Every structure is written in structure tokens, then in C-alpha cells.
Chain A
Amino acid sequence: MRIRPKLRGLWPFSIGIYALGLIAVVLLALSALIWAVQTKVEAVKREAQMHDQAAAKIELDKAVAHTVTELRRLALHATQGDEIRQQLADPAYYLYWRNYRLLHGAALPSFTRAGEVYDRRGRALAEHPLDNMPQALAQNPKSFYRREGSSDYLYLFLPILAEENNPSSVQGYVGFKFDFLQALKNEEQFAYIKTDSIRLQKESYSGEQPRLTYRLKERPERSLLLDIIAGFKQQIVLIFIALSFALFFLLNYLLAVPLRRLSRHIDALGEGQGGILQENFAKSLPVAELEKVRQSLNDYQNKLESMNSSLNQKNDELWTLAHHDPLTGIYNRRCFEDDWAHVLSVANGHRLDVAFSLFDCDNFKAINDTYGHDVGDKVIQTTAHLLQSKLRHGDRLYRLGGGEFAAIFLDSDPKFVLQVMERCLLSVSEFDFTAMGVKEPVRISIGLAHTPGTEEENLATLPKQADIALYHAKRPGRPKIAVYDDSMIAETDIIFSTRHNHAVFEALASGKGLEIHYQPVVDLGRGAVKYYEALVRIRDGDELLSPPAIFPIIEARRIEVEFDIAIIERITQDITQGGIPRGTGISLNISGPSAVNPTILNLIQTLSIHLGQYAIIVEVTETALITQLHQASHNLNELRKAGFLIALDDFGSGYSSLGYITSMPVDIVKFDISMIRHLMEESRQSIIVAQLAEMLAKTGYQLVAEGIEDEHTLEQVKRMGFSCGQGYLFGRPERACRDLAQAKMPV
């Protein structure tokens, strides 16, 4: 249906408009009916008037003919009297006779105005004829009509015959002047003509048949009938109008009002007000069908409400599911993103301190892999519970994934937030996870960032800042809580340096720039190089990237295995090419992921052909061992069986305990440089380190001291039972293997 633009706003029309339309149609039909009746009445009226005209004409013609005939008869009677002939014979007393006998005799009617007798030649017997009667007549005089004043007269002339049926026996003439209209009135009762309206059409007519004008008589019975019809019409109109209004109000009461109520009810349902309206819509409707609709609507509404309630519940559940981490029960990443978006919108433009903290469970993957997902899940659940318990009531803790959590603090003092973070760190550190079977200590790192929430851009950088701070916190040897400051950016930039990334990946893909530098590890007893530790470098133009610049990228990109493969292949190449002096050894570092990787294992196994000529040591960090202790231990045992030696690197920089070391398949323990430096101090720590070294040495481990840069240190470590040493005193890492140790060794 095409609707005019002006009406589009009104379409579809309301029931009220339809009701009005119906009334309008009824009134229109009534008007048409009235018009038809009126037209018919007018037609009947016209037809009746035409009929009246025709009847009036016939009536008048008949009346005129009858009147004229009657007047002629009267006049003729006068001509046939004896006395008139007497007057013709002897008119001596004509005036008397005319006045008293002719005009006032019983024969002539009252509307006879004058009469005269004329002799055979047409001359009046009277010298002065009465009342305009002619003095003389023409031959064979004819009657005529003439208007005089307000009356119309017929002048009627008849011959007086001597012999009754002999027209030639004319003795004279008699003439009469009749008030013709009066004669008509007297002679005839008019049914159609208003008697007083009859007049001659012209001033005069010759002959006895005049043309007359007249008006039709009002027909009382017709007027009465028309009045009755008009009255009936008015009554019909009034009745119809009354009926229309009644119909309108009835329709309004029965249909429009209920439909409007239904419509409002449905609108309200659409707007979610059904519950309120249901009370207002409890009253029953007068039309059964509408009542059924109302009841159906109410039923529908009840069901809808029930469904709505159920749906709300489901939505709540869904929201809970969608916004909660099913494992820990705390909020999840989606919730974090929603909340963070909300924080951005709310805090922006306000003086509102916003702090953002990131928690990461150190080595969670290793724990997961080592102890299985069940244990890992318990660790995460416990960690989450511990963290949540230390937050303020209302502070939300989000699990972003794996062992990573986040918390947002609004309008909080940074110092207070830092205290909360310390409590969190402490609670996790102090918790005994051994009940879950986890032997290694579970630690978390916390990155914290804070900014006044005045600008959305500042706020938006908070997660990144917290991430950078977290990165710093996770670095070995760093405090486990790191508060972001801009100085961290430079270091972190390494991770995000496009140039370094490119160099790393280029070296990985094509070997370009990948260099192996060898640093000698000296047998302190012999004073000779026992083996060389292969240390990776990547040349990027004039810059030589060292491990601190390389491994963050490797770890961030999770390409430890691939990178270790490239290094092993390069070392293999060096060995094959004779770059490594025979009779010495080579130690290579593998990452945690590589320690459990079968490819790496197989690749290392290929080096076993060189075991006859070289001692090949596989160095792993204690962190790598701990994260995947079982698999790593298995793999390393396999290598040991094949003839490889296993060295625990950076001992003392992590969280290894003696208990762990004893369970590890390790042949060599390399004390971290920080431990060696403790030896140079007169402190409790130096004693512990010395005692530890002595104990490990007695246990059968070969001990390697890192960071020997002077002879004093050399002497110290020798005294403490270290069998090997490594440091600048013996030689820096270089492309070629040089045996500089003997020169430096005190003899």
C-alpha cells in the first residue's frame, strides 16, 4: 500500500481514526441517501409541478371554455327574451329597461358590469353606453377581452335573431361586459390555480379564448407531504447522527478503547513495563475476542516474564561464565577488558588515580608441565585465592590467562597499592605448595604502573607499562615487584626493537650474523683449558648483540628451541671444522624448553660421535630444570648415558635448593658470579657459599666458579674446592678458541 509521505507518520492508523472513518462513511452514506431522497423529492416535486402546470392549463382551459359557454348561454338567453325585441322595436324606455331589466334582472349574474343593445346596424340604443361599452359595433362584431384597471373584462356580443334558427334574421345585437375573472371565480373552483393570480397575458385579446397567466395554487396536502418528508428527513438525519455518535461511542467503548489499551499494553511490553501494566490491565474487556486477546496477552506476558526471569538468570549465569574464570572463580580477561574500557571512559578527564598491576606466576608453564595440569590448576587456584584475599573488598582480580593476573585500583594511593602488592607477594611466597606435590617454590612477579587518570592516552598505556614493569620483575636477580618508570623503556625497547628483532630472526633463519664465541673453562688443578663454553652473539652491523639483548627477544617470541638448534648446528660446524682444539671440550647452553625437547635431544645426540675427542657438556640453568624437572631429568639422563656431561649453570642466582640439586642429573655445578663475589666478602654469605662449595665438591660434583677476574679470586676458589674456573682472568669469549689460561694461572 502506498502511503503519502505526510501520512506515513500516521500509518498505520489508529482504531479511533478507523472508527471516525466508519462514522464518516456512515454520515457520507447518509448524506448520499439524503441527497438521493432530496433529489427524488425534488424530481417528484418538479414532476408534480409539471403535472400541476398541465392540469392547471387543462383546468383553466376548461374553466375558460365553460365560463365563456355559460356567459354565452346567459347572453343568448337575453337575446331570446321578448323584451329585448320589444326594445329593438320601441326603444323609448330603453334606459329603464337596460338598467332595470337587462342588467338587474335575475338572468344575469352579479359580475355583469354592463350591457347594451345595438340595432341592426350596430348602433347602441343608448346615447351613452354604460361603462366603456362601445357606442357602435363593427359588422359581425366579435367578442374581446380587455384589461381595465385591475380587472379583466370580457366584452361579449351576440346577434339578436328574429327567427331562432335563422342567422340572417339579425335584428340587432346585444353586448355584455363581464368581469371575466370574477366569472371564472364564480363559475369554477380551481384545484390547481390560485384564483386571484389569473390575469390576461396581454392588455387585450380578440375572440373568446384569451391567454391567461396564473400561479399555481399551493397544494397544502403536497406541502404537508413535503413538510412531512422534510421533517422525516430531519428526524432521519438526527437519528443517524445520534446513531453515529452512539456507534462511535460504542465502537470506542467496545473496540477503540480496548484496542488502545491492548496497544499500550503491547508497547509497554516492548518497553519492558508489562509487569506494571498488568495490574492496570486486569479489568476484563467487553468484547469476547478482545477479552481473549487480553487474556492471551496476560498469559503471554506471564510466560514472557517467566522466560525473562529465567533469561535474566541465564544471562547472569552467562555473564558470570563470560566474565569469570571457570578455574579460579575470579574475573577473566573479558571482564577485565570490559572493566578497563569502563575505567577508561569513567576516569578520563577526572583527577582520579589509577593503578594497574600485573601478576605473573613464575615458571607456571614449567610447573604445569612438570606436575601436570591438575597440580598446575591447583597452583593457579591457590594463587588466585591468595591474591584476592589480599586485595581490598571490592577490588577485582582478573585472570588474564595462564599464570597471569591483573588488578585495577581506582583512586588509590600508589604507596598503598604497593603495600598491597607486597602483601600479595608475601602471601604467595609463604604458602606451602608442597601439599600439592610441588617441590619447587612458587613465586609471582608483579608489575605495577600508576597514573592520574586525566587523559585517556595515559590510562591506555598503563597495561603496557605494567607489562614492562612485570618484565623487569621477572628478570633474574630483580625485585619481584617492579614499579614502572620511564627508565625501563630503554631496556624493554630491546624486546620491541624492530632492528634487534630483525637481526635475531635473520640469524635464526639464515645463520647470518650468528656468531659463537668461546670462553675457556680452565682446569684449576692442571692449569689448562678443560673445555670451552660456547656463548652466542649476533652481529648486527657494527653492533654485536650479547645474550642480555638476544634472549629477551628469544623468550618473548618463544623461539628458544629453534634458536638452540641453530647454535648447536653452528657448534657442530665449528667442531667439524676443527675450530675446537682436540682433547678439550665444549659446553653448550640449552634453554628450559630445549631441555625437554626431543629434537634438541636428538640433535645433541648426534654430537656423541665427537665424544671420543671432546668432552661435551650440556649446560642448563636451574630454572630450566625446575620448570620441567621430570622430563628434563629424563632427557639429561639419556644424554649422560650417552657420555655427555650435564652442568647446572648460574647456580645460586635462582631458587635452587640443595634438595633440588641432589635430585638433578647434574655432573657439574657452575656457581653464579654473584656467589663467587660473596666469597670475596667476609660475611655470613661467604661462609655459606664456601661451605656449600665444599659440601658439593665432597658430594662428587665438579664445581666451576664463574667470574674469576683476578688471581685473588682464583686462589680463593681453588681453596674452596672448585675444580674449574671461568672468567676474564682466563680469557674473554672470542670467536676462536685460545688457550690463555696457562699464562694467567699462577704456577
Chain B
Amino acid sequence: MPSHRPCWGMGFAALFLALIFTGRAAFAETVEAKLPSGIVADASFHAGKAGMPALLLVHGFLQTRSAPPLSRLAETLSDAGYTVLSPTLSLGISRRSHSLACEAVHTHTLEGEASEISFWVDWLVRKHYPNIVLIGHSTGSKSILFYLQKTPNPAVRKAVLASLVPDNGTDIDREKAHRMLKAQAKGKEDLQRFSMGYCRNNYMSTPYAYLSYAVYDADRTLGLLDKAKVPVEIILGGADTLMEKGWPQKALKHGASITLIKSAGHFFDGPQEFDFADAVEAQLKSLRPARQP
């Protein structure tokens, strides 16, 4: 059941705290790590209070860790004492620091993103954080789901997936991509123009890379929920236009706990930003005490 808790008061309190502790966010450090692919990825890391779970924030489609709503959420959670690791998914680019345009060359895959999530989870584990909560937004949420269906690190205790929506392509594009994929050898594929997320017919990608995301339509996404090996909390914006009708109900049916923030859009911007943070923190507080390593 999606929880419709009134969270206005908490929202304002979070905002107040965010203002007070804005300076703390500055203490966050940037960490770089060389991925197995050789690509150098970086992340913002803020060590929180001991005993509090470490949070791995995964940003949305083609974004960086600086993109809302997770950038502000990271600050809020850091200020709340959580250890927060906000990596920027490389999307195949070392030290990527900017969001990637739709027209850029997209050879990155959903699997690649899951691998990077896995890399950073392991990084946290190696930093001795036994209780890790994965927080994703939009496609980041899907990447977490994709990671959770495999063999997630045991330190991962929970996943909070914001704006998990199934809009990752069209059937026509998927069919086209499949056709092309069959016709071309892997590694020698031509770039093709697809629709993906907010990229409307301008997403330049190889069919393989495209399909890595696009195959996860609504049903397959819901199927990933089923396969998730840790509890999954879903936070949705009541006014998210990308969300198809009846999506929360469908997600509920697949065992996910859903928090619906009324009037919130896909990015929880505006006053709903605080509601979103409150909702996340509420999910984190509901987390049972962490196991000590």
C-alpha cells in the first residue's frame, strides 16, 4: 500500500536542517575509482555517523550525481548523519561530470550501470559499511532493480526507488533495435536514433545498448521487483506525467511498498522536494538496526 502520510511539517523541518547544515555538505569528498573497464569513475562521498546506514544514491537517466532530486537529497541525508555515496555513473566516460545529451554516443548499457552500482556497493563494503541502502531515482531505480535481481552484496539492506517508471522506449524502437541487432555484428553496430526516456527520437545508441534499457518495459520492470532480493520501497510523485495510469497499483501487486507524494512530479521539485526527503528518511528510519560487521 502506498503510504500517504502528511509530511509537510517534516518537509519544512528538513528544509530548515538543510539550511543549517549546508556547510556540512561541503565536507563531502570526491572519490575516484577505476572501474574494471578501465574507466575512471568518481563519486561524492560523505561519511556519516557510525551506526547509521550508508546510502548509495544512483542518479537518473543520463544525469550526474549533481542532478536533482538526489543531489539535494544527498545533502539532506548527509546532514541527517547518514553516510552518503553519490557516484556519477560513467556511461562509458571517464570522470564524466556532465549530464549526457540525448544526441551523444550512447554505448552504455543497463548492465554496465548495474556493474558500477555493484562496484560502489563493494566500495562501501570495503569501507566497512555493513548496512547499505540503495536509493535510486528514475532510471537509476531501474538500474538498482537490475542489480538487485542478480546477486547483490549482502550489505545491501534495502532499496528506495524514487520515480520508478517503465518509460524506457517504444515498441517500434525496440523492434527496430532487435532487427538491427540481428543484422549487425556486435561491436560493429551502427548508431541509431531511438526514443528513450525524455529523449524523443534523438537517443543515439547502438541497438544493443539501447535494448539493454528498452527491453525493460512495464511488465519486465515489475518482474524485476519480483526478483529483488532486498526490500524495495518505491516513492512516486502523484503528478509524475511519465507514470502510466495504474502503475502504483501494479507495483504494489509485485510486493513493493509505495509512498506516493501528492502533487509531486517526476523530480519532486518545489515544495515536494522536502516531502521526498522526508519520505526517504522515513524509509531509512524504518530500517531495522544494522548488523555490525
What residues of B have a CB within 8 angstroms of the CB of A96 in the complex? 105, 191, 204
Assess the B39–A97 pair: CB atoms within 8 A: no
Chain A residues closer than 8 Å to B93, beta-carbon distance: 82-83, 85-86, 89
Interface presence of A365 (CB below 8 A): no
Which A74-97 residues have a C-beta within 8 angstroms of B? 81-83, 85-87, 89-90, 92-93, 96-97
Once A83-B93, A96-B204 are accepted as A-B contacts, the answer to whether A101 and B101 lie under 8 Å apart by CB is yes
From A171, which residue of chain B is reached at the shortest CB distance? B94
| CB neighbors of A among B78-100 (8 A) | 92-98, 100
- The 0/1 profile, CB within 8 Å of A marked 1, for residues 99-114 of chain B is 0110111010000000
Residue of A81, A83, A86 with most partner-chain B CB within 10 A: A86
Residues of chain A within 8 A of B94, CB atoms compared: 85, 89, 162
Of the candidates B96, B98, B105, which one forms a contact with A93 in the assembled complex, judged by CB atoms under 8 Å apart?
B105
Q: Is the CB of B97 within 8 A of A97?
A: no
- Once the chains are docked, how many angstroms separate the CA of A495 from the CA of B96? 170
Query: Dominant SS at the A interface?
Result: helix
How many angstroms between the C-alpha atoms of A82 and B94 in the bound complex?
8
Give the residues in chain A near B95, CB-CB below 8 Å: 82, 85, 162
The verdict on A13 contacting chain B, using a C-beta distance below 8 Å, is no
Decide if B107 touches A83 in the complex (CB within 8 Å): no
**In-complex Cβ contact of A101 among B92, B97, B103, B107 (8 A):** B103
**In the complex, per-residue mask of B37-72: 1 if CB is within 8 Å of any chain A CB, else 0:** 001000000000000000000000000000000000
- Contact A97 B104, CB 8 Å, known A83-B93, A85-B94, A89-B39: yes
Instruction: Specify which of B98, B103, B191 is in contact with A82 (CB 8 Å cutoff).
Output: B98
A97–B191 Cα distance when bound, in Å, is 10
B92, B94, B96, B105: residue with the most chain A Cβ atoms closer than 10 Å: B105
Nearest CB of chain B from residue A54's CB, rounded to whole Å: 44
Would you call A83 and B105 a contact (CB within 8 A)?
A: yes
Please tell me if the beta carbons of B97 and A82 are within 8 angstroms of each other in the complex. Answer: yes
What per-residue 1/0 map shows which CB atoms of A117-146 lie under 8 Å from chain B?
A: 000000000000000000000000000000
Q: CA separation between A83 and B101, bound complex, in Å? A: 9
Report, as a range, how many residues of chain A touch the other chain: 10 to 19
Provide the bound-state CA to CA distance between A105 and B204, in Å: 14
State the majority secondary structure of interface residues on B: loop
Q: How many Å from the CB of B192 to the closest CB on chain A? A: 10
In whole angstroms, how far apart are the Cα atoms of A81 and B93 in the complex?
10
Tell me the complex Cα distance, A622–B276, Å: 195
Is A11 engaged at the interface, CB distance under 8 Å to the other chain?
A: no
Q: How far is the CA of A93 from the CA of B193 in the complex (A)?
A: 13
Q: Does A416 have its Cβ within 8 Å of any Cβ on chain B? A: no
* Interchain CB contact under 8 A, B103 and A100: yes
Query: Closest CB-CB distance, B118 to chain A, in whole Å?
Result: 21
Complex: A87 Cα to B92 Cα, angstroms: 10
Which one of B93, B95, B191 has the highest number of Cβ atoms from chain A below 10 Å of its Cβ? B93
CB closest residue in chain B, given A100: B103
Chain B residues contacting A105 (CB-CB under 8 Å) are 101, 103
Q: Is the pair A81, B98 in contact by a Cβ cutoff of 8 Å?
A: yes
When distances are taken between beta carbons in the complex, the residues of chain B under 8 Å from A86 are 92-93, 104-105
Chain B residues whose CB sits within 8 angstroms of the CB of A87 once the complex forms: 105
User: Are B100 and A83 in touch, CB under 8 angstroms?
Assistant: yes
B101 x A90 contact (CB < 8 A): no
Q: Please, how many angstroms separate the alpha-carbon atoms of A93 and B39 in the complex?
A: 18
Return the contact of B100 from the options A82, A90, A92, A100 (Cβ within 8 A). Answer: A82
- In the complex, what's the smallest C-beta–C-beta distance from A86 to chain B, in angstroms? 4
By CB atoms of chain B within 10 A, which of A83, A97, A101 has the most? A83
Q: Which residue in chain A gives the minimum CB-CB distance to B98?
A: A82
Q: Is the CB–CB distance between A90 and B104 below 8 Å?
A: no
Q: In whole angstroms, how far apart are the Cα atoms of A96 and B204 in the complex? A: 10
A97 to chain B: which residues have CB within 8 Å? 104-105
- A97 and B92 CA atoms in complex are apart in Å by 15
Closest CB in chain B relative to A458 CB, distance in Å:
149
The B-contacting residues of A in range 416-442, CB under 8 angstroms, are: none
A91-111 vs B, CB cutoff 8 Å, 1 = contact: the mask equals 011001100110001000000
Known contacts A85-B93, A89-B93, A90-B92, A101 near B39 by CB under 8 Å: no
Look across to chain A and name the residue whose beta carbon is closest to the beta carbon of B100: A82
Q: Which residues of A contact B191 (CB under 8 A)?
A: 93, 96
Given contacts A85-B95, A89-B39, A100-B103, 5 further A-B contacts (CB under 8 A): A82-B96, A86-B92, A86-B104, A93-B204, A101-B103
A interface residue numbers (CB < 8 A to B): 81-83, 85-87, 89-90, 92-93, 96-97, 100-101, 105, 162
**B residues at A contact (CB < 8 Å):** 39, 92-98, 100-101, 103-105, 107, 191, 204
10 A-B contacts, Cβ less than 8 Å apart? A83-B104, A85-B95, A86-B92, A89-B39, A89-B93, A93-B191, A96-B105, A97-B105, A100-B103, A101-B101
Q: A-B pairs with the 8 shortest C-beta distances?
A: A86-B93, A82-B96, A93-B105, A82-B93, A83-B104, A82-B98, A93-B191, A97-B105
